[in-house]
């Protein structure tokens, strides 16, 4: 029998320690951590609860031995008799084996596993923190409060295909890895890459859960969330296509806003969807796992659907509701939404749409050729694609060199030393060109670079000291030749330590930023206004190392651009801040933004806004 949460009334699996909906503890044995509490022999400091899933709670923690880098701490619940030492030891060994297998997973759609440990009778995973909204943002909440508008169908299916790629990777592992708890709250849209990331692997299994003989009813519902969980999970079994069922239920929820937890294994609003898409979802939601498609088959079905081979022709949807149904509109919106366009070009979505919906094989071939030519650089691929079709559509970019010289005054012998050249694009169009070195001991990758408009970009190079004579200076130059622009040169000066001595410079340079102003007053606005005035904030790196900066703590009505950027030592970045008045409630608002620096000290800035009802003084 399922357990009912006394806080929200939702059904949970038998023996769950936490409610899968509201995260309230259901068991006296559930871990109750507090902000500031230290774990892992002082390695982790609890920042705040994140709270996902009923197989264990989730917290945001700071890694005290890694410059307070943020990570996710996930409790993994094992079900065993705590009075039986042998069973307890088996559970611990099982947890460690599963954690090691999860640590081997490497995929852009899966957060990295940093560490695992046991403490106080609880098992924990420490995983990469993916900053961005999960897909619940676009759904009606538990209190009936509507979220943002429903995601457009094209966005839902694009994220679905990205999750399918993850599931294909997991299914091909030996043994296969099964996530067992796919749902909107466990799919995050990465704020940096824009791709869907599948999180919360605390319930994942690296083995099939088949029980010899008859199904083990005592293990029913140990995995998954009621409403999304596949039927076989309630009989103690799972396989890779169990995840397909959960993904199908998730897609149904996102497209209809009809919560499957209200009526598990029933999907009454499927008929509201386009018939071809409804048929695809019915296959994914088949009761018998053998009747469901594999992850690869589901992805191919959805790609054919998106390409217009089934269903009616549809426009290509960009962020902010912008749509395109002809080639010129695609090119114009690609310039407006550069990062998004680069992503759909890189993953094949754009070529499929051009060929299947727009019936434009020339443009589709150009998209595919650009993606192949620049397989490791989506920005360069988009620049190449647009230039093939309409060179005049691209306004000029403007290269700004932020690294003028690279000095290694006492480098070690026989080393390959990575270095970074920072550039910025101050123009309205992309910058792309060639990069080459005057000396063979300075290596510059594939000889090309690209930087989208308004962005700061890093170019990685490598200095090889193995052939350099110790005790005297060596000089070289790295030349950046932008297409249609003037070349820029970065000087490189290296001196190799002689006589077998160690390098003189062993200290580690750190980043240190200052933010001005430290308080932003966006003024008073009436509720009928759309946005406030724009305020410029200057961020300067006073430290001796590059700074990776992320602006955190902004509510949905506060617009920050850019919210993630990299600063070379001594460089400045102007951050634009304004508020969407129509998204903020009336009254006074006070927000504290954190300019978080990787491997450095954070800086806080206060933001004030007052929204008045129209007609009030």
- The model's pLDDT over 496-515, given as tens digits with 9 standing for 90+, comes to 876 544 443 333 456 778 88
Domain spanning 513-612: CATH 3.40.190.10: no
Q: In this predicted structure, what is the pLDDT of residue 54? A: 40
- The backbone torsions φ and ψ at residue 363, rounded to the nearest 5 degrees and listed phi first, read -65, -35
Does residue 111 contact residue 74 with C-beta atoms inside 8 Å? Answer: no
Average pLDDT over residues 51-74: 79
- The model's pLDDT over 181-224, given as tens digits with 9 standing for 90+, comes to 899 999 999 887 788 999 987 555 654 443 333 333 333 334 57
Asked whether the domain spanning 513-612 has the same topology as the one spanning 399-496, the reply is yes
* pTM for the full predicted model: 0.52
Mean pLDDT value across the chain: 81
- The model's pLDDT over 450-493, given as tens digits with 9 standing for 90+, comes to 888 878 888 888 898 888 988 889 999 999 998 878 899 999 99
| Among the four given CATH numbers 2.30.40.10, 2.70.210.12, 3.40.50.2020, 2.60.40.10, the one describing domain 399-496 | 2.60.40.10
Does residue 23 contact residue 56 with C-beta atoms inside 8 Å? Answer: no
In DSSP notation, 238-272 reads --HHHHHHHHHHHHHHHHH---GGGSTT--TTGGG
Q: Is a pLDDT exceeding 90 seen at residue 601?
A: no
Rg (CA), the chain: 27
DSSP label at 502?
Answer: P
Q: Bridge partners of 205?
A: 178
Q: In 3-state terms, what secondary structure has residue 273?
A: coil
Does residue 127 contact residue 110 with C-beta atoms inside 8 Å? Answer: no
Q: How confident is the model at residue 408 (pLDDT cuts 50, 70, 90)?
A: confident
- The model's pLDDT over 270-329, given as tens digits with 9 standing for 90+, comes to 999 988 899 899 999 999 999 999 999 999 888 878 766 444 446 788 887 788 888 888
- The model's pLDDT over 394-404, given as tens digits with 9 standing for 90+, comes to 777 889 888 88
- Among 11-15, 138-142, 542-546, which is the least confidently predicted range? 11-15
Q: Widest CA span of the chain, in angstroms? A: 80
Q: In 3-state terms, what secondary structure has residue 611?
A: strand
Domain boundaries, the chain: 3-128, 135-306, 316-393, 399-496, 513-612
Q: Bridge partners of 134?
A: 188
Distances in Å between the Cα of 495 and the Cα atoms of 339, 406, 530 are 40, 12, 58
Taking each helix axis from N to C end, the angle separating 327-336 and 378-389, rounded to the nearest 10 degrees, works out to 140
Cα–Cα distance for residue pair 403/586, rounded to 1 Å: 46
Cα–Cα distance for residue pair 348/368, rounded to 1 Å: 7
Cα–Cα distance for residue pair 197/177, rounded to 1 Å: 16
Cα–Cα distance for residue pair 141/575, rounded to 1 Å: 32
DSSP label at 350?
Answer: H
Does residue 436 contact residue 412 with C-beta atoms inside 8 Å? Answer: no
Does residue 433 contact residue 448 with C-beta atoms inside 8 Å? Answer: yes
Q: Bridge partners of 457?
A: 423
* Cα dihedral: 512, 516, 519, 525 (round 10): -130
Q: In 3-state terms, what secondary structure has residue 7?
A: coil
DSSP label at 592?
Answer: E
> Residue 133: which of 19, 17, 223, 254 has the closest Cα?
254
**CATH superfamily to which 3-128 belongs:** Phosphorylase Kinase; domain 1 (3.30.200.20)
> Residue 247: which of 301, 206, 209 has the closest Cα?
301
* Cα dihedral: 215, 218, 222, 228 (round 10): 60
135-306 folds as Transferase(Phosphotransferase); domain 1 (1.10.510)
Distances in Å between the Cα of 394 and the Cα atoms of 385, 387, 429 are 11, 7, 6
DSSP 3-state helix, strand, coil percentages of the chain (rounded to 5)? 25, 30, 45
CA 87 to chain centre: 38
Q: In this predicted structure, what is the pLDDT of residue 208? A: 40
Cα–Cα distance for residue pair 152/162, rounded to 1 Å: 16
Average pLDDT over residues 85-106: 81
- The backbone torsions φ and ψ at residue 330, rounded to the nearest 5 degrees and listed phi first, read -60, -45
Cα–Cα distance for residue pair 200/125, rounded to 1 Å: 10
């Amino acid at each position: 029998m399922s357990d009912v949460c006394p806080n929200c009334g939702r059904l949970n699996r038998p023996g769950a320690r936490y409610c899968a909906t509201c995260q309230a503890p259901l068991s006296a044995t559930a871990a109750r951590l507090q902000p500031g509490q230290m774990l892992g022999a002082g390695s982790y400091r609890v920042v705040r609860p994140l709270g996902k899933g009923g197989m264990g709670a989730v917290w945001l923690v700071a890694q005290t031995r890694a410059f307070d880098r943020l990570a996710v701490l996930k409790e993994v619940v094992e079900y065993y008799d705590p009075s039986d030492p042998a069973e307890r030891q088996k559970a611990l060994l099982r947890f460690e084996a599963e954690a090691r297998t999860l640590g081997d997973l490497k995929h852009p759609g899966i957060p990295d596993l940093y560490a695992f440990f046991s403490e106080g009778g609880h098992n924990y995973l420490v995983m990469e923190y993916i900053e961005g909204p999960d897909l619940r943002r676009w759904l009606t909440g538990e209190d009936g409060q509507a979220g943002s508008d429903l995601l457009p169908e094209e966005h839902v299916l694009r994220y679905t295909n990205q999750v399918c790629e993850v599931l294909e990777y997991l299914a091909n592992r030996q043994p296969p890895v099964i996530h067992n708890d796919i749902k909107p709250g466990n799919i995050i849209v990465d704020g940096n890459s824009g791709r869907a990331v599948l999180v919360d692997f605390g319930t994942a299994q690296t083995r099939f859960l088949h029980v010899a003989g008859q199904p083990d009813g005592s293990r029913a519902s140990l995995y998954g969330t009621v409403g999304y969980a596949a039927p076989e999970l309630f009989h103690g079994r799972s396989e890779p296509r169990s995840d397909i069922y959960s993904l199908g239920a998730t897609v149904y929820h996102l497209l209809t806003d009809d919560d499957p937890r209200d009526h598990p294994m029933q999907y009454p609003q499927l008929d509201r969807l386009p018939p071809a898409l409804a048929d695809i979802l019915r296959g994914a939601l088949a009761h018998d796992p053998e009747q469901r498609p594999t992850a690869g088959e589901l992805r191919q079905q959805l790609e054919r659907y998106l390409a217009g081979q089934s269903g009616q022709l549809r426009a290509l949807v960009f962020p902010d509701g912008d749509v395109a149904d002809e080639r010129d509109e695609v090119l114009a919106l690609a310039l407006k939404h550069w990062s998004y366009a680069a992503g759909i070009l890189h993953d094949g979505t754009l070529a499929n749409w051009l060929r299947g919906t727009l019936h434009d094989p020339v443009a589709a071939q150009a998209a595919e050729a650009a993606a192949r030519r620049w397989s490791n650089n989506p920005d360069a691929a988009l620049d190449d694609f647009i230039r093939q079709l309409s060179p005049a559509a691209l306004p000029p970019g403007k290269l700004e060199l932020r690294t003028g010289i690279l000095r290694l005054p006492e480098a070690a012998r026989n080393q390959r030393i990575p270095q970074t050249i920072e550039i910025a694009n101050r123009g309205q169009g992309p910058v792309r060109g060639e990069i080459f070195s005057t000396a063979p001991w300075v290596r510059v990758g594939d000889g090309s670079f690209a930087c989208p408009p308004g962005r700061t970009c890093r170019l990685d190079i490598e200095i090889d000291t193995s052939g350099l004579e110790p005790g005297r200076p060596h000089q070289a130059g790295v030349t950046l030749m932008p297409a249609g622009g003037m070349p820029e040169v970065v000087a490189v000066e290296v001196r190799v330590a002689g006589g077998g001595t160690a390098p003189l410079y062993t200290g580690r340079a750190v980043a240190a930023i200052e933010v001005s102003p430290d308080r932003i007053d966006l003024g008073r606005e009436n509720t009928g206004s759309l946005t406030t005035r724009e305020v410029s904030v200057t961020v300067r790196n006073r430290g001796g190392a590059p700074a990776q900066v992320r602006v955190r703590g902004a509510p949905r009505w506060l617009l920050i651009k850019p919210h993630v950027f990299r600063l070379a030592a001594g460089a400045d970045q102007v951050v634009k801040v304004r508020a969407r008045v129509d998204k903020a409630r009336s009254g006074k608002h006070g927000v504290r933004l954190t300019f978080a620096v990787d491997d450095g000290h954070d800086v806080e800035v206060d933001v004030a806004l007052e929204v008045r009802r129209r007609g009030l003084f």
